Each structure stands twice: as structure tokens, then as C-alpha cells.
């Protein structure tokens, strides 16, 4: 073996022996018991933190004592009463029957008293009947399609116009079926403002045929040069009222007038030197002439 390598190996061995080393001691049984007891003591603090975190994640909207919970219960009741009225179940219910049908039997006594004494009595869509029973209160009292037709006829005779289809659907049970059966006895028009459907009574006694000669004379009258304002003015002079557009009137933007500078006083400076200052413009003109 090479003697140089042996010398290097011996030098490395001496150097390694001269450096101090730290050995890991084995954990005693007493130490392990102390560490396990410390972990057990700190465990409840970790659980308390997780519990507080969970409580922070709760949604307080659905707690029974909050006002949002109470009004949520009321909204569910009103919606249920409306749906059952539209389905034909118009008979009244007690508060316990309403809570049973809406699956809200877990409502507390305070919330129930609030519903009976304040919420349901003052709600415009709920009517209170004798015996502390409640029923849905529609906009119109309509029991069938004949009532709807008579109501539309009365509206037409009094000049009140039509009624919204959504109000009929709210008031009349199975309203879509009734409107479909009535057919051409009513007229449905879509309102251009909000695209809602309006129902009118179709008075067939007002339907008549016009001779072709009158139609030709009517169409021969030139109205291209007349605007709507002049036509409306002419109708007013003849004692005829014209229909007004129900759409919103467009207001032209007002142009801002620029403020005029006439008569505006400008601020002057060095007023205290008026007696000292002298105007040399005349002397300069004379020097130029010379």
C-alpha cells in the first residue's frame, strides 16, 4: 500500500478524534410521562379555539331570536297562503295549521305571539276571519271565469281600462285555464313600458263593418304634414279627448348658459400708489417724433 495514503489516513483519523461530538441521549420514562401530561393539559386550549372558530362561522340570520328569522317565517307563510289560494284552497286556517303545512312547528312561543298579534294582522296580503283563522287576501275577489268576465265588462263600462294578468293570476284560482277558456271574449295586450300583459273586455257589440267608400275617404285624408301636437289640438277643439302615451316623457337636457362678463369688476392692485405713479407714455411719443 502507498505510504502517502497511509499517512493521510492517519492524519484524518487523529483530526476526527480531536473534534468533540454530542450524542443524543435516550429519553427516560419519567421525561416521556411529563411530555404526555403537558400535551394533555394543552389539548383543551386547542379545542376551545376550534369551538370559538366554529361559533364564528355560524350564520346568525337563522337564529330564532333574530328579526331576520321572524320575517323569514312570515314570508314563508304569506307565500304558502298565496300558492294554496291559487290552487283553489281558499278556506281559512289557524296559526297551528299554517305552521304545520309550512313545516315550521319549531317556532317558539314569542314568535307565534308576534305572528298572531302583529305580523299577520297588519299584513296586506292576509285577512283575519272569525275564530282566529287566516286566509289569503287577493287584489280582486274573483271566484271563477264568469266573475272575471263580469269584472272586465264593468271596468270597460266605467272607462277604467284593463287589469294586469299577474293580478288576475293572484286573485283567481287556475287563472291561466280560465283565460284560455274565455278565448276571444277578452283581449290581451302587452304593455310596451314593462312588457306586462293587460286584459280587456272584448265588447262585440261595438264591432261593425265599414263600407269601402268610407274607408277610402278616411285613408285619402292627408295627415303627413301634421304632427301629433297639431292633431291633438284639433281633436280638443272638436271636443274629442285623445289617448295619452303611458310611456315616460323624455326631458331634453338644459343647456348651460355661459356667464357673461359684462359689468364684471376686476380687482386692481397698488391702489395706494396712485398719487406716486406717473404716466410717461406722452413723453415717449414726443421723443419718437423728434
Tens-digit pLDDT profile for residues 74-84: 999 999 999 99
Q: Which of 152, 171, 170, 172 minimizes the C-alpha distance to 162?
A: 152
Per-residue pLDDT reduced to its tens digit, 85-139: 888 888 889 988 999 998 888 888 888 888 888 888 889 899 888 778 899 988 8
Question: In which order are the strands placed within the sheet that holds 186-190?
Answer: 163-164, 197-201, 186-190
Per-residue pLDDT reduced to its tens digit, 255-270: 666 666 666 565 666 6
Question: What proportion of the chain, given as a percentage, has pLDDT over 70?
Answer: 66
Exposed, middle or buried, 136 (CB in 10 Å: 0-12/13-18/19+)?
buried
Per-residue pLDDT reduced to its tens digit, 58-67: 444 445 556 7
Cβ pair 82, 123 in contact under 8 A: no
Average pLDDT over residues 245-249: 50
Q: What is the pTM of this model?
A: 0.50
Per-residue pLDDT reduced to its tens digit, 220-240: 887 777 778 888 888 888 887
Amino acid at each position: 500500500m502507498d505510504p502517502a495514503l497511509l499517512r493521510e489516513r492517519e492524519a484524518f483519523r487523529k483530526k476526527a478524534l480531536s473534534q468533540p461530538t454530542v450524542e443524543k441521549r435516550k429519553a427516560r420514562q419519567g421525561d416521556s410521562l411529563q411530555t404526555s401530561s403537558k400535551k394533555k393539559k394543552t389539548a383543551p386550549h386547542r379545542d376551545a379555539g376550534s369551538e370559538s372558530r366554529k361559533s364564528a362561522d355560524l350564520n346568525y340570520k337563522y337564529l330564532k331570536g333574530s328579526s331576520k328569522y321572524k320575517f323569514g317565517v312570515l314570508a314563508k307563510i304569506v307565500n304558502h297562503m298565496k300558492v294554496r289560494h291559487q290552487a283553489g284552497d281558499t278556506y281559512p286556517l289557524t296559526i297551528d295549521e299554517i305552521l304545520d303545512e309550512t313545516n315550521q312547528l319549531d317556532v317558539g312561543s314569542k314568535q307565534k305571539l308576534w305572528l298572531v298579534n302583529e305580523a299577520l294582522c297588519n299584513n296586506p296580503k292576509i285577512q283575519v276571519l272569525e275564530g282566529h283563522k287566516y286566509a289569503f287576501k287577493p287584489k280582486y275577489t274573483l271566484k271563477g271565469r264568469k266573475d272575471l268576465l263580469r269584472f272586465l265588462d264593468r271596468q270597460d263600462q266605467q272607462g277604467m281600462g284593463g287589469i294586469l294578468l299577474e293580478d288576475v293570476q293572484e286573485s283567481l284560482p287556475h287563472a291561466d285555464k280560465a283565460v284560455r277558456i274565455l278565448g276571444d271574449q277578452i283581449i290581451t295586450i302587452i304593455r310596451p313600458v314593462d312588457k306586462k300583459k293587460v286584459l280587456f273586455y272584448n265588447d262585440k257589440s261595438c264591432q261593425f263593418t265599414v263600407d269601402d267608400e268610407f274607408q277610402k275617404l278616411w285613408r285619402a285624408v292627408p295627415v303627413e304634414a301634421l304632427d301629433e301636437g297639431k292633431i291633438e289640438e284639433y281633436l280638443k277643439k272638436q271636443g274629442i279627448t285623445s289617448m295619452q302615451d303611458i310611456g315616460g316623457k323624455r326631458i331634453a337636457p338644459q343647456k348651460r348658459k355661459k356667464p357673461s362678463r359684462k359689468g364684471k369688476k376686476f380687482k386692481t392692485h397698488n391702489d395706494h400708489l396712485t398719487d406716486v405713479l406717473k404716466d410717461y407714455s406722452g413723453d415717449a411719443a414726443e421723443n419718437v417724433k423728434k
